[in-house]
Structures are given as structure tokens and as C-alpha cells.
Amino acid sequence: MNCKEIEELAPLYLSGEMEEDRKVLFHTHLAECRSCAQQMERLSAMDARLRKALCAGLPEAGALERSVSRQIAQKRAEWWQLIAAVAAVLLIIAVLNYGIFRPGPGARLFMEVTRDHRQEVIEHQPRRWRSGPSEIEELAARYQLRDVAALAPAGYRLEHAKMCGLDGQPALHLVYTNGVQEVSLFVRSRTGGNRGISATSAGDVRLASFQNDRIQLIAAGGASGDCLRFVRFAASVL
């Protein structure tokens, strides 16, 4: 290895990237050439000063790792706090919408009435309806009702009926129409609660309920207010 090659390979030697076989030849030349040896000493000193100056402002690796770990842990804690806050808000919304997180018997009953009215009357999903007067009278006889057509206020006529289940108990589902809109009237045996008339809503479905000592009537329909008129009229007939 000659002096020119020593000059060209010096950067590789100083950076520690020189192959072992070349490093042997490099050291051999420096041992034999005083000029190249002195030049390498000057380059090595300069390289050491540059490394010290450039690396003085860099953080210690362990400290840097600990700092990054702390920041990651802090961000993770903040994310979990955010998730907990969102869950709390959703729980509050559920409570405000449904009264309690798990609906009680009354709330569950109205939810099932709303579901049946949407599926069977608004969406007209296929069901085995009874349309003949004698068939409907036979179903109504279970609730000691003789003329269910007479339960509807003026302008409405009985369209069809069928048995269904509400809140784990059998119920008679009667559907009335005025040619424009349909109203469901559900008839159940009374299962407790206060007597009288009440009204509520579930989205776009209006609900009204009446019960006496013997039966309960629940009307479901649109926003026209006919549900309340239905149960008031039916209550006067009963």
C-alpha cells in the first residue's frame, strides 16, 4: 500500500469501516512511513475534536429512551381517559333516551309495540292477518270484546287483526284505517299499573295507552294525534 492509497483510505480507517485485510496493510505502511503516520495522527486528533463538538449537544441514549417511554405512557393514559369520557357520555344518552339503561316492563312494552307497528303496519312485512269478521270476533272473544270495530272513532274502519306477543304475554293486534293512515290498537289483559289514559312517543311513532280493571289498550300511529283520540274513544265505549 502506497502513500496515495493511505490518503484515500484514511476516512474509512477513522470511521471504523475499513475491512480487516486492508487494515493490516494500512498499519504496515504507517509503521514504515513516518510522514503518513504523522498525517494520520493529525487527522485522528481533528476527527476526535469534531466528534466531541458535534456530539456535545446530543442527549444520553438512556435518558432519551426514558423520556420517550414517559411520553408514550402519558399519551396512552390520555387516550384511556378520553375513551372513558366518551363511554360515560354514551351511557348518559342511553339513560336520557330510555329512562334507565335496562328498560323496565313499561318501557319494554312500548318499545315492542313500536317495533311491531313499524314492521307490520308501516313496512307491511308479511304476516298471517285475519280479515273475516267471524275470525276477528273469535280472537276478540278472548278479551271479552264483542264488537272491536266499534272501538274506532268516526272515519276509521277495522282492516284486519292477528294475535301477537308483547312483553312475554299474548296480545290482540287490531289495525284500523281511514284510507290515509293506519293505526294499530293492541289489546292485552291488564297486568297491573294505574288506571287511566297516558300518551308518549318513540321517534316518529305516537303511542297512547288506556287500561281499566280488566284490559289494557295501546294505540300506535303517526303524528296526527289519532292515537290519543283512539284510546279516549275506546275508553268511552268500554
Q: Where are the domains of the chain?
A: 3-55, 66-102, 105-237
Whole-angstrom distance, CA of residue 176 vs CA of residue 149:
9
Grid-cell match 293512515, residue found:
181
Give the model's confidence band at 25: pLDDT under 50 very low, under 70 low, under 90 confident, else very high.
Answer: confident
**Helix residue spans in 99-238 (DSSP H):** 105-117, 133-140, 226-237
The one-letter amino acid code at 122 reads I
pLDDT in tens, 109-163: 888 999 999 999 999 988 899 999 999 999 999 988 888 999 999 999 999 999 9
Question: For residue 186, what pLDDT is reported?
Answer: 95
* Structure-derived torsion over alpha carbons of residues 76, 78, 79, 85, reported in degrees to the nearest 10: 150
Share of the chain above pLDDT 90, in %: 23
Interval 59-74 mean pLDDT: 71
Report the distance separating Cα 137 and Cα 142, nearest Å.
9
- Mean pLDDT across the stretch 169-183? 92
Residue 76 confidence (pLDDT): 79
| Local confidence band at 74 (pLDDT 50, 70, 90 cut-offs) | confident
Is residue 175 within 8 A of residue 148, CB to CB? The reply is no
Whether residue 140 contacts residue 148, with contact meaning beta carbons closer than 8 Å, is answered with: yes
113 and 201 Cβ atoms separated by less than 8 Å: no
Q: Over 90: is that where the pLDDT of 10 sits?
A: no
Measured from the Cβ of residue 16, the count of other Cβ atoms closer than 10 Å reads 7
Mapped onto helix, strand or coil, the DSSP state of residue 122 is helix
Q: What topology does CATH give the domain 105-237? A: Phosphorylase Kinase; domain 1 (3.30.200)
pLDDT at 203 over 70: yes
What values do phi and psi take at 233, rounded to 5? -70, -45
CA 46 to chain centroid, in Å, comes to: 64
Range of lowest pLDDT (38-42, 101-105, 139-143):
101-105
- pLDDT at position 58 over 70: no
pLDDT band at 101 (very low <50, low <70, confident <90, very high): very low
- Residue 43 is predicted with a pLDDT of 84
SS3 label, residue 198: strand
